A = this chain, B = another copy of it.
């Protein structure tokens, strides 16, 4: 099977990658300036949290995309889609981990991804409060800041035996599906797990600081950057959930990180 992404020139992909990095800089600036002037919290119709900062960041990113790539599509957490027919789709989660952001816990992040014909081309996860960014693009590698990531060579993260994994909360396994048993199974097999909300766990799995991340019950923007980043880092990414929930949309899940750990978890979930 040929990869549609290989139709594009590396130089074009690199330009998109650079654009995504500028967008991440802009997201950081907006977040920083609103943290100074005041973050206000409200609820969305689905009862989830949103802040003025989520809206302001997405708005800024949309302006940047519209200026540089007016024909490209945009799918973002806070505003309606644009140019849905374009083969290029920017997928944005302006603040992933809004609960953390609103409560002053620094593990939130901005997710910026560009997909081409439904395949992830460029990905950035930016944690401004931790001065941490992972980014990469198809064929161009995955990077932590300026250091290229090589997951295959990374030492085992759990130095005292077993694998070190981050999982999502039980909530994610039950909110849109009945996957409670997976939470039980995983926490029994990997009892020394951690639960960092969403994208900080992704970053840790992509950089190899932990061995794998298990994610269920996500929206598309939550996972939009993680596959290309994991694969470009030399890791493995397996989709374990993809369901269309009426009134909500696509709900997805994935296991990703170092290959050996991912394989073991996939086996466990299938058992």
A243 at the interface (CB under 8 A from B): no
A102 at the interface (CB under 8 A from B): yes
**In the complex, are the beta carbons of A158 and B194 less than 8 A apart?**
no
> How far in angstroms is the closest Cβ of chain B from A214?
13
Mask, A23-59, CB within 8 Å of B = 1, is 0000000000000000001010001110000000000
Chain A contributes a number of interface residues (CB within 8 A of B) equal to: 37
Stretch at the interface among A63-71, A73-81, A109-117, A164-172: A164-172
> How far in angstroms is the closest Cβ of chain B from A191?
4
Stretch at the interface among A181-189, A229-237, A250-258, A262-270: A181-189
A238 at the interface (CB under 8 A from B): no
> How far in angstroms is the closest Cβ of chain B from A77?
15
Closest 3 CB pairs of A and B: A195-B195, A171-B191, A170-B191
CA distance A212 to B187 in the complex (A): 21
CA distance A21 to B130 in the complex (A): 24
A152 at the interface (CB under 8 A from B): no
**In the complex, are the beta carbons of B195 and A194 less than 8 A apart?**
yes
Seed contacts A43-B159, A103-B164, A170-B192; 10 additional CB < 8 Å A-B pairs = A47-B160, A169-B187, A171-B191, A171-B192, A174-B191, A194-B195, A194-B196, A194-B197, A195-B195, A195-B196
